[in-house]
Structure 1
Amino acid sequence: MKRIDLHTHSTASDGTNSSQDNVALAKERGLQAIAITDHDTVSGVAEALEAGARLGVEVVPGIEISTLLDGQDIHILGYFVDYLNEDFLDELTKLRQVRNQRNQMMVDRLKELGIEITIEQVQSKQTKPGGNVGRPHIAEVLVDLGKVSSMEEAFEVYLGREGKAYVNPWRIPPKEGIELILRFGGVPVLAHPGLYDKDDEIEDFVEAGLQGIEVYHPDHSEQEVEKYEKLVTKHNLIATGGSDYHGVRNGSVYHGELGSQPVGEAVLEQLKARRNKKTSSESQ
């Protein structure tokens, strides 16, 4: 039986491993397939595909789009997106500009709180040239400065939704994120819905074209898994899962270890079928 991790991050966004290192780790841990799903970028996909071909691991080109609804971050995973399409890359550039704006706003808020931190310090934590910078990089600096003792504390006290330095500038709404993924050949899936408290919106997302829900995630309780399994059945969606692996920072793993929330081959085949169905209907 194949074991597949459909949610991993690399240094293209806020992971600590290169995407090819994630593929190698997947091979080491006995996985047969892995998705690279960096935040608002596909810049790690090509090297992952090359590594996958070399190591015998299937790589799913993916992305995690950042959207906003009523002040709440909602992330939409996109599988089998046309990662080479120039129009798609232009749209992602716009999304990253908002991300950069948010980073600066958070740094400014931290300064207002009396913490001597600079955007240059934050940017220095990104080891991949041109890679995205995000909250985990800010958290790393806060640990370095001794303002917190761990990544978890950085998010709890400063960077999480209830944190003192939390800000959220305007971003595209989830329905636009779903449409963006569909427009460029991908299969949109709602990432870790247990983190949002927005379950009442899922039906609207389905009407907008949502094709799946990430049911299996390290931060989901057994009760949440059961709830989302029922929603998947109700709406004829795909039940996906993944570790949301970000690598190791300051000795701890953010979300889950790579391979900790595997799904089987049937899930990957369902994603391919939804992609193929859309592609063939567009060509008619």
Structure 2
Amino acid sequence: MQQFNGRCDLHTHSQASDGMQPPAENVKLAKQRGLSAVALTDHDTVAGVAEAQQAGREYGIDVVAGVEISARAGGKDIHVLGYYVNTEDEQFLDRLRGLREAREERNHLIIAKLQELGLEISWQEVIDGLGRPLEPDESIGRPHMADVLVRKGYAADMRDAFNRYLAEGQPGYVSVPRVAPEDACQWIKDAGGAAVIAHPGLYGDDELVRRILEDSRPDGIEVVHSDHGPEEERRYAELAQEFGLIQTGGSDYHGVRQGVVFHGDLGSKTVTIDVLDKLRAAAAKS
């Protein structure tokens, strides 16, 4: 009989955004790895949550309805995680739809910039690379384009595609207007959820992170993440204590592309089950 370890991975992605596998597969993996709970936090969409929660009932895994909202502050892309959101809230769904439309506009601009660089890549190739029809409310991201760049020989692997073309500051990078983190936090709370600032270590600017916490008043901050080392975890745990925030964590699992797991394997970064109680309590106050 499967033994659950009281651990939770609160940051995973599926095919509903830029993950590699169906939502149910994330839940199956969580069970195989002995987790007690897993959150599905796709970018700007909750399209995969229903499937994940159905799989959770089948596997006996607690599946948290989540989302990862794209925001911008201080000239940087900032991500805000939402937990226990109402996935049927029409206002929230409409707001997410607007974000996906901005994302699609950005995607076409990226393709145009890559073409200007002499790279033969088309939007249709990105869609074809999915290997399946694009479902309603799903979102396409830079990893999908990176996958095409690797397959066509323009990059050695996914990281090389980002480092050479798609990462911030590189020639294929495009930024479009985004909501502010404080708006993203408010949207999540309006939808009955708990708001958490994602992977602060990736922003490379702790003063900006501090300002975001002051302005946005989130419920938590992601202390444990696949791209955080021990020093980052210590620093953000202290920041969480200073601001009275819930300390969350997760792998930021996107699946395997070109033989590489991004950002970390599901279940490799976890928090204890009591974090869910704290997030539920915060969501209840929304």
**TM bracket, shorter-chain basis:** over 0.9
Unaligned segments of structure 2, at least 5 residues: none
- Residue 14 (1) aligns with residue 26 (2): no
8 Å Cα contact 1:179-1:209 kept in structure 2: no
Q: Which residue of 2 aligns with 1:157?
A: 164
Q: Look up the equivalent residue of 2:274 and give its one-letter code.
A: A
Q: Which residue of 2 aligns with 1:51?
A: 55
Within a 5 Å distance, the mapping from 1:257-272 to structure 2 comes to: 257-272=265-280
**Mapped partners of 2:74, 2:210: distance in 1:** 16
Match of 1:122 among 126, 135, 139: 126
8 Å Cα contact 1:74-1:196 kept in structure 2: yes
Within a 5 Å distance, the mapping from 1:110-149 to structure 2 comes to: 110-126=114-130, 127=132, 128-130=134-136, 131-149=138-156
> Which is worse superposed, 53-62 or 162-171?
162-171
**Mapped partners of 1:159, 1:222: distance in 2:** 28
**Mapped partners of 1:29, 1:81: distance in 2:** 25
**Mapped partners of 1:111, 1:70: distance in 2:** 29
Match of 2:227 among 208, 219, 236: 219
8 Å Cα contact 2:8-2:37 kept in structure 1: yes
Unaligned segments of structure 1, at least 5 residues: 279-284
Q: Look up the equivalent residue of 2:235 and give its one-letter code.
A: K
8 Å Cα contact 1:6-1:34 kept in structure 2: yes
Q: Which residue of 2 aligns with 1:61?
A: 65
Q: Look up the equivalent residue of 1:151 and give its one-letter code.
A: M
**Mapped partners of 2:169, 2:210: distance in 1:** 27
8 Å Cα contact 2:36-2:273 kept in structure 1: no
> Which is worse superposed, 268-277 or 250-259?
268-277
- SS of the equivalent of 1:7 reads strand
Q: Look up the equivalent residue of 1:186 and give its one-letter code.
A: G
Query: How many aligned residue pairs are there?
Result: 278
Q: Which residue of 1 aligns with 2:182?
A: 175
**Mapped partners of 2:116, 2:256: distance in 1:** 29
**Mapped partners of 2:92, 2:53: distance in 1:** 19
**CA displacement 1:219-270 (0-9 Å, x = unmatched):** 0121111100100111110110000000011111111000000110111111
What is the deviation of 1:68? 1.0
8 Å Cα contact 1:245-1:257 kept in structure 2: yes
Match of 1:98 among 102, 107, 114: 102
8 Å Cα contact 1:71-1:168 kept in structure 2: no
What is the deviation of 1:203? 4.1
- Residue 78 (1) aligns with residue 86 (2): no
Q: Which residue of 2 aligns with 1:4?
A: 8
8 Å Cα contact 1:156-1:162 kept in structure 2: no
TM-score by length of 2: 0.94
**Mapped partners of 1:101, 1:145: distance in 2:** 23
TM-score by length of 1: 0.95
**Mapped partners of 2:13, 2:224: distance in 1:** 17
What is the deviation of 1:277? 2.9
What is the deviation of 1:276? 1.9
8 Å Cα contact 1:246-1:254 kept in structure 2: yes
Q: Look up the equivalent residue of 2:124 and give its one-letter code.
A: E
**Mapped partners of 2:284, 2:184: distance in 1:** 20
Match of 1:39 among 40, 43, 46: 43
**CA displacement 1:136-179 (0-9 Å, x = unmatched):** 00000001110011000000000011322111011111111111
**Mapped partners of 1:100, 1:12: distance in 2:** 14
8 Å Cα contact 1:105-1:167 kept in structure 2: yes
